[in-house]
Amino acid sequence: MEYIMEGFKEAFKLLLSFDSEVYGIFLLTLYVTLMSTVISTIIAVPLGIMIGLKKFKMKKALIRLLYTLMSMPPVIAGLIVYLILSRRGPLGELQLLFTPAAMIIAQVTLVTPIITGIVYNSTRDRGESIRQLAHTMGANKKQAFALLIFELRADLLGAIVSGFGRAISEVGAVMLVGGNIKGHTRVMTTSIAMLQSMGDYSQAIAIGIVLLLISFGVNSILYHSQQVN
């Protein structure tokens, strides 16, 4: 019991001393996660809307694949990106392995299906009536798309926040492709995993507290976005 209390005390000291290594980890985590969320959003929102509205061959198969990818274990995403980026892989020449860019790619692989799936679901449920309303009001294509985004705004925010939450909390993918290199690719989850194995609980607890606070903030946004509906 004692060492846990001791750990918390040390953790707060560390946070209040603005330890540059710890804060460097926070900043890198936010950078990687925000970048991957933004890139995933740019791909996933139009994609989810398109799948929700359009009829095309193999749509059912595509949706089943999408649902499978939504629950893809992070290590699998990490492994795939690792194989593609590794020296003998198809994109090995880019030498991205063990860089923040590789971590962003791995998280985009993980998060894009999640956002796409959620956006697809709400578009399937409400997209067609919104499109029909836009038509009866005399909207052009651009205006119809704007109405769709406006009407699905709470769902879209929820999808993006879920994606962010998934990205910031996973360890497996970023560990595989980032390698947890100190000062270069070490993020919050990978350092907690490492510190725990080394028995350095105070720093692990300090980072854990901040990660929990971020999760809390993210879930508050999610909760409020659901209230809007």
Partner 1 sequence: MKITVNNLRKTYDGKQVLSVDSLEVKKGCITGIIGPNGSGKSTLMRLISGIEKADSGTVAFEDKKASEETWKGITLVFQKPYLINTTVYENIAYPLKLRGAGKDEISRRVETMLELLELGSIRHRNARTLSGGEGQKAALARAMVFEPQLLLLDEPTANIDPKSIYIMEKAIRHINEKVGATVLLVTHNVRQLKRLCSYGIFMNNGSVEIQGAVGSLFEDLDNTPMGSFISEEFII
Which residues of this protein are in contact with partner 1, per CB under 8 A? Answer: 129-130, 132-133, 135-140, 143, 147, 150-151
Q: Which is nearer to partner 1, 83 or 126 (CB)?
A: 126
50 versus 139: smaller Cβ distance to partner 1 = 139
Nearer to partner 1, 88 or 142 (CB): 142
CB of 145 to partner 1, least distance (A): 13
CB of 228 to partner 1, least distance (A): 8
User: Closest separation between CB of residue 124 and partner 1, Å?
Assistant: 15
Judged by beta carbon, residue 20 or residue 136, the one nearer partner 1 is 136
31 is written with which tokens?
Answer: 């950078």
Which residue is it, tokens 């690719």? 185
Q: List the structure tokens of 166.
A: 């998934």
| 193, 170 contact by CB (below 8 A) | no
CA-derived radius of gyration, the chain: 20
**146 vs 137: CA distance, rounded Å:** 13
C-alpha–C-alpha distance, residues 184 and 119, integer Å: 34
Q: Tell me the closest approach of the beta carbon of residue 143 to partner 1, in angstroms.
A: 6
CB 178 within 8 A of CB 103: yes
Taking the least distance from each CB to partner 1, the nearer of 13 and 135 is 135
Residue 186 to residue 175: CA distance in whole angstroms: 8
For the bound state, the minimum distance from the C-beta of residue 118 to partner 1, rounded and expressed in Å, comes to 18
